[in-house]
Amino acid sequence: MSNCAFTTHSTVSYSYQTVTQPGITSLSLSSIQGGSFKIRGAANAVKMLDPECKDVVTHSSGNHGQALTLAATMLGIKAHIVVPDNAPAVKKAAMEDYGADIIMCESTQQAREKTAQETIDRIPHSVFIPPYDFPAVIAGQGTLGLEILDQLEDVDAIIVPVGGGGMLSGIALGVKNKNPKVKVIGAEPDLADDCYRSFQAKERLGNPSYPQTVADGVRVDIGKLTWPIVRDFVDAVFTVSEKEIVQGWQLFGVLSCWMFCQFDTCLVVSLLTFSAAICT
């Protein structure tokens, strides 16, 4: 697929394979934009690229695309993002503002993957960095779980939104390794419930058609790499309705404005966990 390679730093082992231990902290993230948590995984992956790699490719409805473009641009690397034609205009604009080369495609998983592969074939020495099904991305997202345990005492459970499973699997690995007693729970829309059904059946099941949920960031199937981690380390998965997602957006907005004026940031993060889970 590419002549470029990834370099490795310190590693952390688990039963499936060895992944790179990310060196990303709250302090370094506090001055970085990127639209969502995905800057963690994207930055971790880009940081490990071989110096010869000058182009990265991915497919994204917006969040991973923004994060990857920002991380790549900061290191002088061009990002080429395959974007489904039903992606929110505001996310597409953000990717363009960060410097992405946008390639549009039909709004199906197959079209996203096919167009991404065509882009890789067209650009010499380019590297594909998946939105979730990639060890460095999983490890980067997992820093969220480690920071929650570092910053908060007596954590009972962490509720995590799930689409492809990068954040859920990363948090589950980190949290269960550090404190197995903490419950890690996945949350996803009723209209994109492949992870919920997979968890019930104990086998990976895809969405029967392209999900039409308002939660555009999770309109994907659980990943081949993330699924066994979710199966073995996550305690439960539940679903929420479209109405509940919209209510979550409203609640998140109100609580964000109020709590950032009232409380310490760490407390805000803990109190907004559930709301964020159904908003993503």
Query: How confident is the model over 259-268, as pLDDT tens digits?
Result: 556 544 444 4
For residue 154, count CB atoms less than 10 angstroms from its CB and return exposed for 0-12, middle for 13-18, buried for 19 or more.
exposed
Residue range 129-154: average pLDDT?
92
d(CA 131, CA 137): 7
Asked if 61 is an active-site residue, the reply is yes
pLDDT beyond 80 at 21: no
**Residue 34: pLDDT band with limits 50, 70, 90:** low
Structure tokens, 63: 């969040």
Residue, of 55 and 13, whose pLDDT is higher? 55
In which region does residue 62 sit, left (phi positive, over 0), alpha (psi from -120 to 50) or beta (all else)? left
Query: Considering just the CA atoms, what is the radius of gyration of the chain in Å?
Result: 18
Q: How many helices (H) and strands (E) does the chain have?
A: 12, 9
d(CA 42, CA 66): 9
The residue from 36, 47, 60, 61 that is catalytic is 61
pLDDT beyond 70 at 236: yes
| Nearby residues of 220 by Cβ (< 8 Å), 6 or more positions away | 109, 131, 132, 163, 164, 192
Output the pTM of the full model.
0.76
- Per-residue model confidence (pLDDT) at position 207: 87
Instruction: Give how far the C-alpha of residue 218 lies from the chain's centroid of Cα atoms, to the nearest Å.
Output: 9
d(CA 169, CA 234): 8
| Range from 9-13, 41-45, 184-188 carrying the lowest mean pLDDT | 9-13
The residue from 38, 47, 91, 92 that is catalytic is 38
